[in-house]
Chains A and B, each alone.
Chain A
Amino acid sequence: EVQLVESGGGLVQPGGSLRLSCAASGFTFSSYEMNWVRQAPGKGLEWVSYISSSGSTIYYADSVKGRFTISRDNAKNSLYLQMNSLRAEDTAVYYCAREYALYYYYMDVWGKGTTVTVSS
């Protein structure tokens, strides 16, 4: 079964750090681009970051640039999001999503999400 499982969420104080993980199974992880998408409570979806299959190309939303770092370990079938200098507005459910990118692009597999709460 194709699956993504996020972990690492929790309660953190403003200015703190957190590292999210996403474990992939059921497909050849190293062949796929990956993304992080978040959803603040009661709000819509916000794309956060992208990493290419090799890890050589990375993009960030302006809202997290300079504070978040995406990475991957293809040997461990894992995706990561290092989040530093966290703010209240970073409070959200964070999803990892597999990106299909051949002739067209779409996010076809999503994890169930992990909740990050930034509060004192």
Chain B
Amino acid sequence: DIQLTQSPSFLSASVGDRVTITCRASQGISSYLAWYQQKPGKAPKLLIYAASTLQSGVPSRFSGSGSGTEFTLTISSLQPEDFATYYCQQLNSYPFTFGPGTKVDIK
């Protein structure tokens, strides 16, 4: 199975900050990576797929990059509604594993 790690696991940031989250895969997954945002008590929401393609309706301050084994999610200017937990997921092969998550909290 492909394992995903995320760093950091927790980050504290202020509104307007640029935030970067890294996801690393235990083996190459090409660009078969998605990013999701989850708020407490809510279902995950797809932000980015194919490593760098923004899902329709997602603000352009979110961006993704990477391929192979290292990927990043960047929020260019953190907004109040962005405080949440972010998960990466590999969709290269089953099981479609998720990363452990990165919680973005208010500084």
Contact = CB atoms under 8 A, between A and B. Distances in A.
B20 interface: no
B11 interface: no
B28 to A, nearest CB: 16
Report, as a range, how many residues of chain B touch the other chain: 20 to 34
Interface stretch (A21-29, A42-50, A79-87): A42-50
Report, as a range, how many residues of chain A touch the other chain: 20 to 34
B46 A47 contact: no
Contacts of B32: 104-105
Interface in A32-84: 35, 37, 44-47, 50, 59, 61-62
A95 B45 CA distance: 12
Given A35-B96, A46-B98, A50-B96, A106 B34 contact: yes
Nearest to B50: A104
Contacts of B38: 45
Contacts of B87: 44-45
Interface of A: 35, 37, 44-47, 50, 59, 61-62, 95, 97, 100, 103-108, 110-113
